[in-house]
A and B are shown apart, each in its own frame.
Chain A
Amino acid sequence: MASLGSVEWRAICDKFTNARNLTDVESRNDPENDPFRSKYKARELLREIYCSLKSFEAGECEEESEGESGEQRPTEPFVDGQRDDLFVQGFSGDSPAGLRAAKLGAVEYYLGVNHVDTEELSAGQEHLMNCLKQLEKCKVSSENVSLFIHVRNQLGILWAGRDETETAQGFLETAESIYQLYMKEDGSPPTDMTEYFTTKEKLLTHQERTKRFEFAYTHTMYYLAQVYKNLGDTERAATYCHSTLQRQLQSNQFNPMEWALNAASLSQYYITKGRYMEGRHCLSAALVVSGLAGEVPSEAAAQESETESERREKLRQERAEISRCWIKYCLNLLQDAKKLLEDNTGELDTDRQEELKRVRKREEEEEEKGRKSALLFGSEDTFDSIASLEEKVSCLFPLDFSEARAIFLVGQNHVKEAKEYFQMDGYVTDHVEILQDHSALFRNLAFFEEDLERRCKMHKRRIDMLEPICNDLNAQYYLLIRRQMMFELAETYSEMMDLKMTRSNRQADTESLDNHTIKKINHLCSSSAKYFQMFLDSLCSPEGKFPEHLEEEVLRPALVARFRVARLYSKLICSLPSVHLDNLNKSLENYKYVAKYCEAHPEAVAAVETELELSKEMVGLLPLKINRLKARMAANN
């Protein structure tokens, strides 16, 4: 600082500290009718600093002769490409000219942020671009690399706010590549921008420098995640979310609860993409990290103090949320396996099962080598715990009952955990959703069960958990959930009926059935029809009228329900001809409805193709059957 006396320099440093204090601390207490008071004060100080720097050091660097009158005409929108000349051209960062440029750039940077904060975007942009121009004179080095990144982060935010996502992307990607190159070429802890305006005795430690620098880059990752999301590039967005989380974990800069919830959310992304290994990894990491938030305060402690009670509530909720993500993991894994293994009647395809087992064996041998290439979470402290947790659950498709059961049990355990927090009293919707998942876990497990009687019992469990609640829920406030439940109950009863029929080992001749079985089958059959009918009734207007036009989201379910009701009525076993006739007529009426509706609404045909075809067929056949029955009844009379 040859031309700046230490007194003047100290004054600049004080001004800078003051400006930062005004921006970060004071501004929070600004009155509503003068919201930017402190920021305007800070701006004045920054301007003074800028002028001092300019005038004191003007003579220092004779290389510079270009007009710096401060009146640069607005240039064309500068698009930041990923430029590799940043490391080779310009002043070296520790030369006087390089340092001067960096300092001026830093003041421009702070002025830019200040203007953006006070909603003067284009002035802000100009200052930030001036900062870039100053930096263009310099090579990237440990003296200025932090500023290189920070200014691009800000420009990224600015342009994204104007809906110019690609421009934002350019700045942020350049920031990313500058960081990577710097770490490769140099990597020493870089100077923080605040250090430009501090006296020697206040310089930061290497550790603190590294921390701040890495944090700025974590922000770059975080902004890029958002940019890619906005651009619709979900895969990259997810990767950047992943990196952001991993960087937070490594640098120990995170709130455990928040981190765990984010990781658990990310697992849901992987699940929807069918990537179970990654999903499991996120979930295991979420569990381990949520443990870092400490023990859940006891109920007694919560009653003692309000902070403890709040903490208890939050921790319990967070853990229940993570459990719910686990439930979905188990559920989807079972469901996808089922899809792989089922034949066209929905039963286990044993040939396919054998083949998949062989494939898996082969892959397992190969995977020993390649597996660890995926993105992984972990810091020194957490890595082993995450890995050991992962080992407890498989991420491969279960191929037989015992494998499916292992996954089911993990899911069921999490159902229990989640229900402890999301109790019916207070969390109706959440509680019911968990029950629905539990039921779906059973449904998928049943697929793998070979013993029909045991399979039936699993479906009975589903009914037992859903039926009482479906009947208790307020029909007005929980209409949508009840619709789902009614449909599911109807299907479950129907499934049980089919199982009972198969087990009695007869489809066609009803005569051979004993009374008890007939009673049982009829009960299941009419229960199923009852719930399908309840579902259909829920679509009616308050005056009880069935809609003439079915809305898109209920179109298929409504027509399917009609079709299934028709089928159920024709399956009811009864010895009394008049009742039988009644049932057949009801059946016909419902088949007719499906056919007629599709005739009147051709757009519905695509949604129910198979059902429609069968309905039409039945509309042709049933009258014959009805007439025969009538004839027989007449003859008997």
Chain B
Amino acid sequence: TAFNISDSNSIKVFVRVRPLTHSTGLTTDGDQNLCLTVTSPNTIRLLSKPEPRIFTYDHVADMDTSQDSVFSSVAKNIVESCMNVVFTLFIYCSGKTFTMLGPSDLDNFTDELRGVIPRSFEYLFFLINREVERSGQSKSFLCKCSFIEIYNEQIYDLLDTASASLFLRENIKKGVFVEGAVEKFVNSAAEAYQVLSMGWRNRRVASTSMNRESSRSHAVFSMTLESKESINEVVNIRMSQLNLVDLAGSERQKDTHTEGSRLKEASSINRSLMCLGQVIMALVDVSNGKNRHICYRDSKLTFLLRDSLGGNAKTYIIANVHPGSKCFGETLSTLHFAQRAKLIKNKAVINEDTQGNVR
């Protein structure tokens, strides 16, 4: 059931129904009423009222799907192609830590239940070593990791907790990057995982000591892969990148990202009507071909991952949902989010100078 990665749409959505593994603490809280069923490898039937609704995705994993098969149907492809292109994996919603890391989220490298990330690292370094061997040492790899957190539109370095908030910058050769973020060189899967665990631990510390809620922050782990190959004195350098993004949970993000008609209130921020700008922004439409400038920037996350949304990058989204009927609201919003996500695209409008096209 692995799906074809070279499909024209560069965003794939994978929905995983959170497993009911009691031993890992992921239960449905004694609630045996399920609000959804997996009806085929790519559809979910949600028991909504008055009529059940069917949602279709690229792939749906039901409760019994093992960590290994999540890895082989999603991440294996990612890792293979991340040797060549920019690749981003978004993970969203409840049970994501389990999917990402595994039951106890630290250093558990051999556990059968270990998550997608340790498996990805192992596989990536397996591929790297194979490449190096095949090329007869003429090819070498340089692997760097960084780990940042975006909370309240501020960027923090999870590998250097002492640093103040950082800025996004752009470079004509490097693209978008976080200025001043620590980059760690790694040589093996274990080292990469160590960097990740360290950042993960720091994130927890920060969330308690600095009043940052991790459920409202995004974490972005980036691994840059530089391959160097010398053929007949010509050195060929290729860059690729793997981003793992832990998206803020849906539960408490009432005021961010939710589309719909909620009004932005002004009473609490007495003089600030910054949101008025957002209203106006929505009024300025591009459809009539007019050229306009929008003064308000994209969110930091979208800007940082801009290359992931379209063009020559590949993107996967794993959305986790809880099957219990108590979680109906959250599940519905996650399913909606996952469906919308497929439509996200970074488009470039080619402004044709129509004059004299045909002469």
Contacts and interface: CB of A to CB of B under 8 A. Distances in A.
A452 B185 CA distance: 58
B263 A244 contact: no
A484 interface: yes
Given A156-B263, A321-B293, A342-B355, A241 B348 contact: no
Interface stretch (A36-44, A376-384, A553-561, A596-604): A553-561
Nearest to B176: A477
A244 B273 contact: yes
A265 B175 contact: no
A161 B73 CA distance: 39
Interface stretch (B152-160, B226-234, B276-284, B329-337): B276-284
B171 A262 contact: no
B292 interface: yes
A505 B359 CA distance: 16
Interface stretch (A74-82, A104-112, A219-227): A219-227
Contact of A549 (B8, B174, B264, B348): B8
Interface residues of B, number: 64
B292 A477 contact: no
A253 B267 CA distance: 13
A477 B174 contact: yes
Contacts of A438: none
B356 interface: yes
Contacts of A56: none
Nearest to B303: A429
B352 A265 contact: no
A160 B351 CA distance: 38
B261 interface: yes
A332 B290 contact: yes
Nearest to A272: B290
Assign chain A's interface to a size class. 35 or more
Contacts of B173: 472, 474
Contact of B348 (A222, A237, A484): A484
Interface stretch (B23-31, B132-140, B306-314, B316-324): B306-314
A443 B282 CA distance: 29
Interface in A249-280: 253-255, 258, 261-262, 264-266, 268-269, 271-272
Interface stretch (A63-71, A199-207, A419-427): A419-427
Contacts of B170: 426-429
Contacts of A269: 280, 283-284
A102 interface: no
A89 interface: no
Contact of A481 (B239, B283, B348, B353): B348
Interface in A329-352: 331-332, 335, 342, 345-346
A198 interface: no
A149 to B, nearest CB: 12
B33 interface: no
A483 interface: yes
Interface in B273-300: 273-274, 276-277, 279-286, 288, 290-296
A484 B293 contact: no
B85 A542 contact: yes
B6 A226 contact: no
Interface stretch (A487-495, A510-518, A579-587): A487-495
- Label chain B's interface by main secondary structure: loop
A542 B172 contact: no
A346 B354 CA distance: 8
A157 B263 contact: yes
Contacts of B352: 487, 491, 556-557, 560
Contact of A324 (B6, B285, B293): B293
A238 B283 contact: yes
B132 to A, nearest CB: 21
A123 B261 CA distance: 21
B254 to A, nearest CB: 9
A134 interface: no
Interface string A136-158: 00000000000000000000110
B348 A474 contact: no
Nearest to A164: B261
B272 A255 contact: yes
Most buried by A among B266, B279, B355: B279
A427 B171 CA distance: 7
A325 B277 CA distance: 14
A610 to B, nearest CB: 5
A542 B261 contact: no
Interface in A305-336: 321-322, 324-325, 327-328, 331-332, 335
A473 B84 CA distance: 19
A345 B356 contact: yes
A288 to B, nearest CB: 17
Contact of A222 (B276, B353, B355, B357): B276
B2 to A, nearest CB: 19
B341 to A, nearest CB: 18
Given A265-B284, A542-B312, A225 B348 contact: no
B201 to A, nearest CB: 19
A483 B295 contact: no
Contacts of A472: 172-173
Interface string A210-222: 0000000001001
Contacts of A92: none
Contacts of A429: 170
Contact of A261 (B8, B86, B285, B296): B296
14 contacts: A160-B263, A165-B261, A225-B276, A226-B279, A241-B276, A268-B284, A271-B292, A331-B291, A332-B291, A425-B171, A474-B175, A478-B175, A487-B352, A553-B347
Given A487-B351, A564-B357, 19 more contacts: A161-B263, A168-B263, A222-B276, A237-B283, A241-B279, A254-B271, A258-B277, A261-B296, A262-B277, A268-B292, A271-B290, A324-B293, A332-B292, A428-B172, A429-B170, A474-B172, A484-B348, A484-B351, A487-B350
Interface of A: 32, 156-157, 160-161, 163, 165, 168, 219, 222-223, 225-227, 229-230, 234, 237-238, 241, 244-245, 248, 253-255, 258, 261-262, 264-266, 268-269, 271-272, 321-322, 324-325, 327-328, 331-332, 335, 342, 345-346, 424-429, 437, 440, 443, 447, 469, 472-474, 476-481, 483-484, 487-488, 491, 494-495, 498, 541-542, 547, 549, 551, 553-554, 556-557, 560, 564, 610-611, 614
Interface of B: 6, 8, 84-86, 169-176, 211, 213, 239, 260-267, 271-274, 276-277, 279-286, 288, 290-296, 307, 310-312, 346-359
